[in-house]
Amino acid sequence: MMQDFPTASPERSRRPADGSDPMASALGPQGEMSDSQAFAVLRQRFPQTALCERVAAVARWRMGS
């Protein structure tokens, strides 16, 4: 028997229509801090956010999005 697992709700996975990314924006210009420092900032500013979302935000920040 297969078990159904919950999936991310579309509201949480959808980026804002205006292109803003609050987590990536909170990190400032790329290159001013290491990835570990960026994760610390996101943990402090967005404590209820899942780790996978913080990882995605750091990736977007590194790509300049």
More confident: 63 or 3: 63
Q: H/E/C letters for each residue in 3-58?
A: CCCCCCCHHHHCCCCCCCCHHHHHCCCCCCCCHHHHHHHHHHHCCCCCHHHHHHHH
Q: What is the pLDDT of residue 43?
A: 95
Query: In the chain, where are the structural domains located?
Result: 26-65
**2-55 residue pLDDT tens:** 666 555 544 444 555 444 589 988 888 877 789 999 999 999 999 999 999 999
Q: What is the pLDDT of residue 11?
A: 47
Q: What is the pLDDT of residue 42?
A: 94
Q: What is the pLDDT of residue 2?
A: 62
